[in-house]
Structure 1
């Protein structure tokens, strides 16, 4: 399973890799550090907005620009197909993981990107949570934990994922953003190719975001 932030050591020895889904990438990157620390012990709530390119190339009523423009809609609430791979990876990092993941996907009024808003009850302080995330992603060349609020244009046209954290009472809010066509698809495939073939992980992926 080709999510480098979770499976790098296995990917470099693999002959075949299954590239993760775009929503699966955005959500797992938001939750992996908590799973590794055994902190996913209550229901995870996620709302994530995706661009129109997330629907693929086949035309449909809900992908046409004239319908998508100035519009929002929910689809596959609590039943999205990427939940299976998300649960599998989290369960491997945190054996016995059985918390509910309540995921509401939203069709957004923009072509590229995924912006995910996840929250969970935790006893971690914000300082502890930030350290946990920064330590987990210390060696990840494309996943960055920001000390400031994030936005989608920081990642569009790149293979980056950006994450920020906020603590509100007992709830930890994790914001994560990726480009669904790059870190959520072809960019991650190139990243996996680099790992398998022994190239530097960032080869061919040094891209500038649409806002920089």
Structure 2
């Protein structure tokens, strides 16, 4: 049995992690952590787990986690992850980090966007970015994986084939993305109260959203050229899902069928990307680990559509893909439903 721990088990992504891992008969969840000091049982936090997992959420140290578990999923906020991950790794525990703490290569960029000095900067730039559709061969031997963000996965998967094949200009790419309310996390905030966000849609983080440098950095690696996007996220009154509508500029004349064939070739053998003829719809990927992608033209303007479930393919599902590759399981284990 592979023994795993989940740090930060009270959140939405952690709940999805638990449900997916419970579908793997070779995995045993042995520890859950929470900042709540009274060690509530997991079914008090997530009642849907009643009778499925008999564990309390404890305030465990990295050393205590490493004594119990071979792998740890860090579903902690940024900054909190970097405080525990070095000790976990030193004690021989392999880690999939769902926070943003190890996604960027440059500590100065991290400090600019996250307003905090990185306390483990030597690992930046060498930590494997956990998007299996792009870097599956680097994941199995890694001890630490930086799990992608939800908006970033949606955008990167939608644009990577075009940039890798030099079909679009690397700058001036407009990304108009809309996410369900669960993307804001479980802690109550004024903007995500029902009466504030229901029957309303709004842009937020305009020019300042922290996924922007992540998208630029990863796509620059794919392209081999500096990529700059104009990224605008929107809060949408639905529970889950992301739809990104993207407007890149073509470098040459190409028709829709040719572009779709580029996508199908690029993602051949990648089980969780579906290149489809119709415009993607968030309800078709809700509750799944799929990312649906398609393209259309408006006159000469190419429009790229990408949709996924922000809690699964945008967080817990891709984390399990990474874990499966690290642990030697089939990449799809627990994820095909």
Specify if TM > 0.5.
Answer: yes
**2:318 paired residue number:** 188
**2:300 paired residue number:** 170
Q: Deviations over 1:140-192 (max 9, x none)?
A: 10011001222111100001100111122221111110000000011111111
1:118 partnered with 2:249:
no
**1:148 paired residue number:** 278
1:200 partnered with 2:325:
no
Show the 5 A alignment for 1:9-24: 9-24=137-152
TM-score (normalised: structure 2): 0.59
Q: Deviations over 1:68-121 (max 9, x none)?
A: 1101111011321111121111111111224x3111100001010001100112
Secondary structure at the aligned position of 2:144 is classed as coil
Secondary structure at the aligned position of 1:121 is classed as coil
TM-score (normalised: structure 1): 0.93
Secondary structure at the aligned position of 1:177 is classed as strand
**2:212 paired residue number:** 83
Q: CA RMSD in A?
A: 1.2
Alpha-carbon distance between aligned partners in 2 of 1:164 and 1:79, rounded to the nearest angstrom: 27
Alpha-carbon distance between aligned partners in 1 of 2:198 and 2:322, rounded to the nearest angstrom: 34
Conservation of the 8 A alpha-carbon contact between 1:121 and 1:170: no
**2:198 paired residue number:** 69
Conservation of the 8 A alpha-carbon contact between 2:160 and 2:223: no
Select which of 60, 63, 79 maps to 2:189. 60
Greater RCO (Cα-Cα under 8 Å, separation 6 or more): 1
- Count of paired positions: 206
Select which of 180, 189, 214 maps to 1:51. 180
Q: Which runs of 5+ in 1 are unaligned?
A: 208-212
Alpha-carbon distance between aligned partners in 1 of 2:297 and 2:283, rounded to the nearest angstrom: 24
Shift of 1:3: 0.7
**Structure 1: which 4+ aligned runs deviate by more than 2 Å?**
none
Select which of 27, 34, 40 maps to 2:168. 40
Q: Which runs of 5+ in 2 are unaligned?
A: 1-128
